[in-house]
Amino acid sequence: MSSIPVPAPPYGRSPLRTVQVLGGCSGAGVGAGAGSSAHVRSLAGGLAARGVRVTVCAPVAAEGEYDFTGAGARFQPAAVNALRVACAGADIVHAHGLQAGMRAALALRGRRVPLVVTWHAGPVLGPGPLGGLTRLLERRVARAAAVVLGTSSDQVDLARLRGARDARLAPVTLPGARSAAGDAGKVRAELGAVERPLVIAVGSLVPHRGYSVLLDAARAWLALDPVPLVVIAGEGRLRAELTRRIELEGLPVRLLGRRPDVAELLAAADVAVLPSRWEARSLLAQEALRAGVALVATAVGGVPELVGDAGVLVPYGDAAGLSEAVAKLLTDPARRTALAQAGPVQAATWPTEDDTVAQVLAVYDELMERARF
């Protein structure tokens, strides 16, 4: 654990003890993904620096990737018994995602410890067993939580619809991507895009990411000269299906798998694309705007309020609209430059990491004050 200086608590008061709970990764969107894990890492560091004792209960793989102990937290593998023990010694338990929220609620059964749940994922749309199960989970978690924090306005509305006693907007600002120090020309050469435009998408290969629509759009780009190369950085259960389509249709698309150099890939790209069915505060959108890369995204979930006028928004599922928007940007360098300049300006309007930590800590203080009466 790093030696972060910890301020002394107010006279006569013990340090606040919190447990941050992350669920396992889930293609259904109810587990912990990159956005929620990065948020917990940032939150743990900010809370620890303010004198809060933080325990993070998460899968072991998440500790290896996000180094919660390096942020000043104590790490606890997210086994059921270990979670119950950790929660027993907490003043506040804060779960991130529906799966984590349900596990935390069960661990707290019979205890008067306030539960805060941040919803990072969106609704599962449509009928069927998965949709019904997720809606049931939403109701149980919303009603078990003392406070539900939604990272976008529609999540707050959904939490209230599911019976939350107290639902509030709490935009999650993720740590700024490190500067891309690599050579963009070298990256483009590696990818095979030296003399052709480069379009990038980033995210797990799961249905809600909308990659089937992106492949439909890529088919239309075969008519462009030169034909742009589309690269997708991410891994998931749709890899085989997407690979078959790319090969059968001769699409100008490469699946890169998981990449540790997303910042460098973005810096080398002409356009970033976010074709998702739903997003809250998309990690790709944040990184693209901060990096000054022109963004085309679907107008879903929290994307419009996040992006504002600094990106081009299209309806979800509209392959023709997506294709046209990207094609126009690729043939209009001035428009790409304007968006590149607008991105960092829009990013400057987002809450800072300190703002995010301060808001969460204010919620904790409010709940602790309630508990005194």
Residue range 137-149: mean pLDDT, rounded? 96
Residue range 179-189: mean pLDDT, rounded? 79
CA–CA separation, 318 and 44 (whole Å): 39
Is 184-347 a domain of CATH 3.40.50.2000? yes
- Between 26 and 247, residue with greater pLDDT: 247
Boundaries of every domain in the chain: 17-173+351-368, 184-347
Q: Lowest-confidence range among 40-54, 94-108, 168-182, 354-368?
A: 168-182
61-99 pLDDT tens trace:
899 989 999 999 999 998 888 899 999 889 999 999 999
Q: How confident is the model at residue 249 (pLDDT cuts 50, 70, 90)?
A: very high
Q: What is the pTM of this model?
A: 0.84
Percent of the chain exceeding pLDDT 70 equals 88
Per-residue pLDDT for 191 more than 70? yes
CA–CA separation, 28 and 283 (whole Å): 18
On the question of a common fold for 17-173+351-368 and 184-347, the answer reads yes
Give which of 283, 257, 361, 302 is closest to 48, Cα–Cα.
361
Q: How confident is the model at residue 323 (pLDDT cuts 50, 70, 90)?
A: very high
- Between 271 and 302, residue with greater pLDDT: 271
Give residue 371's pLDDT: 79
Which of 19-33, 146-160, 308-322 holds the top average pLDDT? 308-322
Per-residue pLDDT for 317 more than 60? yes
SS (H, E, C) the chain: CCCCCCCCCCCCCCCCEEEEEECCCCCCCCCCCHHHHHHHHHHHHHHHHCCCEEEEEECHHHHHHHCCHHHCCEEEECCHHHHHHHHHCCCEEEEECHHHHHHHHHHCCCCCCCEEEEECCCCCCCCCHHHHHHHHHHHHHHHHCCEEEECCHHHHHHHHHCCCCCEEECCCCCCCCCCCCCCHHHHHHHHCCCCCCEEEEECCCCHHHCHHHHHHHHHHHHHCCCCCEEEEEECCCCHHHHHHHHHHHCCCEEEEECCCCHHHHHHHCCEEEECCCCCCCCHHHHHHHHHCCEEEEECCCCHHHHHCCCCEEECCCCHHHHHHHHHHHHCCHHHHHHHHHHHHHHHCCCCCHHHHHHHHHHHHHHHHHHHCC
1-39 pLDDT tens trace:
444 444 545 444 579 999 999 986 433 333 346 778 989
Q: How confident is the model at residue 179 (pLDDT cuts 50, 70, 90)?
A: low
Residue range 328-336: mean pLDDT, rounded? 97
Give residue 3's pLDDT: 45
Percent of the chain exceeding pLDDT 90 equals 75
Per-residue pLDDT for 118 more than 70? yes
Give residue 14's pLDDT: 77
CA–CA separation, 351 and 339 (whole Å): 21
Q: Lowest-confidence range among 53-62, 113-122, 232-241, 318-327?
A: 113-122
Give residue 31's pLDDT: 39
Could you tell me which CATH number the domain at 17-173+351-368 has?
A: 3.40.50.2000
Give residue 2's pLDDT: 44
255-267 pLDDT tens trace:
999 998 999 999 9
Q: Lowest-confidence range among 166-175, 291-300, 316-325, 352-361?
A: 166-175
Per-residue pLDDT for 351 more than 70? yes
